[in-house]
Amino acid sequence: MEREIDNTALVLKEDADLGTVQIADDVVAMIASLAATEVDGVSAMAGNITNELMSKVGMKKLTKGVKVDVLEGNVTVDLSVTMEYGYNIPATCQQVQAKVKNAVENMTGLTCTDVNIRIAGVNIKKDK
């Protein structure tokens, strides 16, 4: 029995004898972020200026660069990533989309309907 309880969590299972299982949107966003950064060619998640400033003062957030919308058991994920120079962007993005979709669906039981990716930058490694 799925139902939304507020803007930041979704009740996955409700059982009068055992209680409820809730998943916060930030948890879904963290799963998506970790899955995306596991793909070769993705340098890092890119956040907005507020996230960037907060990470510089020591308040890092694993969900930076990720926006998650959960509606009636369906998840839409918007990612903002920094790519490594030299990787094929369309092929890498397809891998990210597949990996994020699989991770979200396998770990939460929700249906991931969209994984939208915005390339925020390209990281060029400096030779030593």
Residue 18 lies inside a defined structural domain of this protein: no
**CA 68, CA 45: separation in Å to the nearest integer?**
14
Joined together, the tokens standing for residue 86 give: 């030299």
Question: Is the per-residue pLDDT at 12 higher than 80?
Answer: no
Give the residue numbers spanning the domain of 69: 25-123
CA 65 to chain CA centroid, Å, is 8
**CA 86, CA 53: separation in Å to the nearest integer?**
28
Residue 49 lies inside a defined structural domain of this protein: yes
CATH label of the domain that carries residue 85: 3.30.70.1350
Residue percentage of the chain with pLDDT more than 70 = 73
Mean pLDDT, residues 9-26:
74
Number of structural domains, the chain? 1
Strand order in the sheet with 9-15: 3-6, 9-15, 19-24
Residue 2 lies inside a defined structural domain of this protein: no
Q: Give tens-digit pLDDT for 45-71.
A: 887 544 444 455 544 456 788 999 988
Residue 102 lies inside a defined structural domain of this protein: yes
**CA 13, CA 31: separation in Å to the nearest integer?**
20
Residue 4 lies inside a defined structural domain of this protein: no
Residue 19 lies inside a defined structural domain of this protein: no
**CA 21, CA 26: separation in Å to the nearest integer?**
15
Q: Give tens-digit pLDDT for 70-117.
A: 888 899 999 999 999 999 999 999 999 999 999 999 999 999 999 999
pTM comes to 0.78
Residue 37 lies inside a defined structural domain of this protein: yes
